[in-house]
Homo-oligomer: A and B are copies of this chain.
């Protein structure tokens, strides 16, 4: 394990800076609508300048590692960012509904409408962009990924409030909602470069494991993260009664008293202001945070291992470091 990891995400942005700025240009151009200016207003808020652009970076990196020389990598990088933004917009609606049951405001509801429709627009734009590449293999991968994302999200909806949710279901959920697009992002980069089958598979596996790792880390940080760094409130998943790895582990180890606690807070949704603290105490006593960290580290290694047979280039090294970096947030 690396003692001190120099931020490989920043390295990736630096190495791919020229391409990334072309991606941002294309995103700005394609998120506009000639007829409905509202679309551009909302989209530019979301993806105009900001955003981590992690998925486009993965596409650009995979294409470059495989020696791609053309210009369509820009299209595909913009495509995966559009799909990602569309799912974020739709997640907002889903999370709002879950969070704000029984209370609603004009503002929230107006946002619901525009979140749904602007998400649909960006999703359609992503299909236009990928169609322009003329690559049916890429279209197949990305349309499959889109179906998997929606499937994962629906599964998450069905599994919430259900304390019988096990790790198998958890993996299905996060493979859909997160890993599917990570994996497709690297896979289509390699496809575009006409890489051989094994290389395409290796890069897809890297993206898959990185995505799984990324999501587990996110789910751990929702319990023990530094609120300022994570950029959201601690305990959201607990309050939204979303079963993630730390909780699933703790519930599997629960004694009768703890089981009653989980039933009250997660199944019945009867929570008071001290319950999140109580949940944390249980998670720690059951070593559920440590268990989840070990699992995240395992996936980080799986990601790195997937790249074994890829020729060693500086860019490959950055991807390897990235898999350490993703998990370093909880180590």
Interface residues, chain A, CB within 8 Å of chain B?
Answer: 33, 35-39, 87, 90, 93-94, 97-98, 100-104, 106, 109-110, 112-114, 116-118, 120-121, 123-125, 127-128, 131, 134, 136, 139-140, 143-144, 146-147, 149-155, 157-158, 172, 176
Given known A-B contacts A143-B127, A143-B128, A102 and B93 have beta carbons under 8 A apart: no
Chain B positions within 8 Å of A110 at CB level: 97
Bound-state CA distance A11–B245 (Å) is 56
Chain B positions within 8 Å of A35 at CB level: 151-152, 155, 172, 176
Chain B positions within 8 Å of A151 at CB level: 33, 35-36, 39, 121
Shortest distance from the beta carbon of A154 to any chain B beta carbon, whole Å: 4
Bound-state CA distance A139–B139 (Å) is 10
Q: Please, which residue of chain B has its CB at the minimum distance from the CB of A98?
A: B113
Partner of A113, one of B37, B93, B103, B113: B93
Chain B positions within 8 Å of A94 at CB level: 112-113, 116-117
Chain B positions within 8 Å of A97 at CB level: 109-110, 112-113
Shortest distance from the beta carbon of A121 to any chain B beta carbon, whole Å: 4
Chain B positions within 8 Å of A87 at CB level: 120
Partner of A150, one of B37, B117, B131: B117
Bound-state CA distance A149–B35 (Å) is 12
Chain B positions within 8 Å of A146 at CB level: 120, 123-124, 127
Chain B positions within 8 Å of A100 at CB level: 109
Shortest distance from the beta carbon of A104 to any chain B beta carbon, whole Å: 4
Report yes or no: A90 in contact with B102, Cβ–Cβ below 8 A: no
Chain B positions within 8 Å of A121 at CB level: 147, 150-151, 154
Shortest distance from the beta carbon of A111 to any chain B beta carbon, whole Å: 9
Shortest distance from the beta carbon of A139 to any chain B beta carbon, whole Å: 5
Bound-state CA distance A140–B133 (Å) is 11
Report yes or no: A150 in contact with B90, Cβ–Cβ below 8 A: no
Q: Please, which residue of chain B has its CB at the minimum distance from the CB of A148?
A: B124
Q: Please, which residue of chain B has its CB at the minimum distance from the CB of A135?
A: B136
Partner of A149, one of B106, B124, B131, B149: B124
Q: Please, which residue of chain B has its CB at the minimum distance from the CB of A33?
A: B151
Chain B positions within 8 Å of A140 at CB level: 128, 131
Chain B positions within 8 Å of A109 at CB level: 97-98, 100-101
